[in-house]
Amino acid sequence: MPTRGRNRIAGLAICCLVPLAAAASGRSATAEAPPSPREVLRAQAVETLAGGEPSLACLTPLLQTLRQDPSRAPAATRKAFFQLQSELTLPGDRRFVGRDGTVVRDPFEGASGRPFPQGDVGEETEAIDAVLLGIADARKLLGEEIGLPAPAPLEVVLERLGPGLDGYLLPTLRRDGRAIAVLDATPGKDLPALRRAAAHQYAHAVALAAGPELTPAFGEALAAWTSLRLAGGPDAAAAVTLSARLGRLGEGLAVDDPRLAAGNAAFLAFLDEAYGPTAVGLAVQELATGAPVPLALDRAMRRGAGTTLADAFRSYQIWCHFVGERSDGLHFSFADRLAAPPIPMRFDGLPALSVLEEPPVGPLGAASILLHPDREDGGMIVRVEGDPSGSWEADLLLFDDARRARRVPIALASDGTGETTVPLQSVSEAVLFVRNLGAEDGAPLRYSWSAFLDRAFPFEVGTAGARRIPGGGVLVSWETLSERSLVGFRVLRREETAAGWSRVSPVWIPPMGDGATPASYGFIDATAPEDAPLLYRIEGVTSDGLSGFSDPFAIAAQERP
């Protein structure tokens, strides 16, 4: 054994090495041996449960779901599950025992019948080292940093599980309370990957210790987040999983599909980065009480961040938009490693509306609609109507030509209906966000929406002009035919050859009109330069803080000196 391997294992406090059973019988550690019947059955069971799905790197949530109700699974899956659950012994192994009580079992014969691990003993101890380091990493994060309960020390079995599969946890096979974590340690296995797999399965054990009511899906989300957090971001495989999940936000956070569960690590990463790691621990604790998911997460947000789930979920949908090529550097720290989720509903021009073809939105699910109004005047009326049995929220995300974004909430009544109108000047793109915070029966619900042009929003100018007045200065006057949702006017000025506008009115000019009554205004620009050719423009600011503008107008030619 190389000295380096010995020293690293000693540093991790391996306090016991049980001799290889086969060596005691005089069998060479490098001899070929046929697989035992139990090994063959176990390998077949793993292959059946994995089902050829490369996305299922971890079998734990599937096993936990089957344990809760095996009767709903196909016969072959049930048989494989029971075979795996009943496998308590291995034909020959060595046991490495760490100071924390973790037992790592290194089987003499793998599923193929080849002695495992191959190569020198130094490579073997590097694998044990990686397992113990991974468990130590996860214990520090989940226990010391976010306050989740520690499980009993694990018993870890190193086996060949096949390509694409990292491991699984069997929680009920030992009378002493230890869960058994089975990790893929095929010869040549990438050691950092083995370390991450050990941390991942330890996180599953923590999820079990948190409470039996924590769903397998959220247990997998916690385990995937643990791997993500410890690695400082997603690797290529995790990035694919997270990106795929962001593309299916409409199915909701409360789904039990194991293929989506790992992607829910994105929500826990959002809680971590937006509110701190304690928010993750509180979310897990509340979910483990068995309360409905929306209620549990709302309690966690109020306890840990002083906000509501509705506010947090609104921010989460926005974070999920700004990834990949849309990343602005202000949201997920790993946003540029993900692919931007597609927005399948895209509409050019107005009017635009749904025809009830959009897929329903699950509890704590979200949908996006991309709108290109293709207008530079007037406003856009956006209406949303959700199934009254749900709890709905909606927003508009408006982008200008420089890709600066502005969020505009759409107030929805208790029956799920509401609307807003926004000025279209400088709006190059709008994204309608719709969210279902949940319903009593937890069923996906439908919604509809529409967007129409309002040519007179937020104000309609009848006349506007500017003229120089005796003693210096310019009198700017305008008349509006209608006004809606205005909090005030501002007067803007620029020289004809300049590019940018400057505000020359020092205070708001309060609106005096309404939706049908004309109103007249005047403002003296005492700072206007005497000899420069000037243009003016009236800006009306809405209650949402958005601006509508009049067309530019010049000083009357006959009044120029």
Q: Tens digits of per-residue pLDDT, 34-56?
A: 555 666 777 788 888 887 555 57
In terms of pLDDT, which residue wins out, 44 or 266?
266
CA distance 394 to 411: 7
- Which SS3 state, helix, strand or coil, does residue 39 take? helix
pLDDT at 331 (0 to 100): 97
pLDDT at 174 (0 to 100): 65
* Mean pLDDT value across residues 376-388: 95
| 185, pLDDT greater than 50 | yes
pLDDT at 21 (0 to 100): 34
pLDDT at 526 (0 to 100): 96
> Would you say 542 and 379 are in contact if contact means Cβ atoms under 8 Å apart?
no
| 19, pLDDT greater than 70 | no
pLDDT at 558 (0 to 100): 57
The second-level CATH assignment, the architecture, of 346-454 is Sandwich (2.60)
pLDDT at 99 (0 to 100): 85
Q: How far is CA 488 from CA 98, 438, 482, 508, 538, in A?
A: 71, 38, 14, 5, 10
- 318-360 confidence digits (pLDDT tens): 999 999 999 999 999 999 999 999 998 999 999 999 976 789 9
Partners of residue 67 on adjacent β-strands:
none
pLDDT at 93 (0 to 100): 64
Residue 91 pLDDT grade (very low, low, confident, very high; cuts 50, 70, 90): low
Residue 28 pLDDT grade (very low, low, confident, very high; cuts 50, 70, 90): very low
Strands 103-107 and 352-353 turn out to be unpaired
DSSP conformation class of 240 = H
Residue 318, H or E segment = helix 309-321
Residue 26 pLDDT grade (very low, low, confident, very high; cuts 50, 70, 90): very low
pLDDT at 350 (0 to 100): 96
pLDDT at 39 (0 to 100): 64
CA distance 288 to 149: 12
pLDDT at 483 (0 to 100): 95
Tell me which of 115-119, 282-286, 394-398, 455-459 is least confident: 115-119
| 468, pLDDT greater than 70 | yes
Residue 11 pLDDT grade (very low, low, confident, very high; cuts 50, 70, 90): very low
pLDDT at 60 (0 to 100): 94
**Of residues 534, 532, 524, the one with CA closest to residue 469:** 524
pLDDT at 173 (0 to 100): 60
CA distance 111 to 87: 13
pLDDT at 35 (0 to 100): 53
CA distance 14 to 143: 22
DSSP conformation class of 336 = G
- 422-455 confidence digits (pLDDT tens): 999 989 999 999 999 987 678 899 999 999 999 9
Residue 176 pLDDT grade (very low, low, confident, very high; cuts 50, 70, 90): confident
Reported residue count of the chain is 561
**Of residues 150, 444, 438, the one with CA closest to residue 296:** 438
Q: How far is CA 233 from CA 143, 332, 440, 497, 535, in A?
A: 20, 10, 36, 49, 52
> Would you say 540 and 458 are in contact if contact means Cβ atoms under 8 Å apart?
yes
* CATH 2.60.120.380 intervals, the chain: 346-454
Q: How far is CA 181 from CA 46, 170, 173, 225, 354, in A?
A: 14, 6, 11, 18, 49
| 220, pLDDT greater than 80 | yes
| Share above pLDDT 90 across residues of the chain, in percent, rounded to a whole number | 67
Residue found under tokens 């826990």: 268
In terms of pLDDT, which residue wins out, 346 or 11?
346
pLDDT at 13 (0 to 100): 41
pLDDT at 559 (0 to 100): 45
Q: Tell me which amino acid residue 374 is.
A: D
* CATH 2.60.40.10 intervals, the chain: 459-559
> Would you say 302 and 311 are in contact if contact means Cβ atoms under 8 Å apart?
no
Residue 141, H or E segment = none
* Mean pLDDT value across residues 195-210: 97
* Mean pLDDT value across residues 510-515: 92
Cis peptide before 151 (omega within 30 of 0): no
Tell me which of 53-62, 181-190, 329-338, 516-525 is least confident: 53-62
Q: Tell me which amino acid residue 178 is.
A: R
Residue found under tokens 């790993």: 334
CATH of domain 459-559: 2.60.40.10
* Mean pLDDT value across residues 119-141: 81
| 122, pLDDT greater than 50 | no
* Mean pLDDT value across residues 202-222: 95
- 535-549 confidence digits (pLDDT tens): 999 999 999 999 999
Strands 346-348 and 365-372 turn out to be parallel
Partners of residue 554 on adjacent β-strands:
535
* Mean pLDDT value across residues 459-472: 94
Partners of residue 519 on adjacent β-strands:
480
> Would you say 233 and 195 are in contact if contact means Cβ atoms under 8 Å apart?
no
pLDDT at 232 (0 to 100): 96
CA distance 327 to 330: 8
pLDDT at 68 (0 to 100): 86
Query: Residues with Cβ < 8 Å from 255, sequence gap 6 or more?
Result: 217, 261, 362
Give the mean pLDDT of the chain. 87
pLDDT at 187 (0 to 100): 77
CA distance 353 to 506: 41
pLDDT at 531 (0 to 100): 85
**Token digits of residue 539:** 């800006």
| Share above pLDDT 70 across residues of the chain, in percent, rounded to a whole number | 86
pLDDT at 172 (0 to 100): 66
**Cα radius of gyration rounded to whole Å, the chain:** 32
Residue 177 pLDDT grade (very low, low, confident, very high; cuts 50, 70, 90): confident
Tell me which of 104-108, 178-182, 394-398 is least confident: 104-108
pLDDT at 341 (0 to 100): 94
pLDDT at 88 (0 to 100): 53
Query: CB atoms < 10 A from the CB of 142, how many?
Result: 31
| Neighbouring C-alpha atoms within 13 Å toward the C-beta of 332 | 34
In terms of pLDDT, which residue wins out, 33 or 324?
324
pLDDT at 52 (0 to 100): 52
- 133-150 confidence digits (pLDDT tens): 999 999 999 999 999 999
**Of residues 160, 240, 164, 229, the one with CA closest to residue 196:** 229
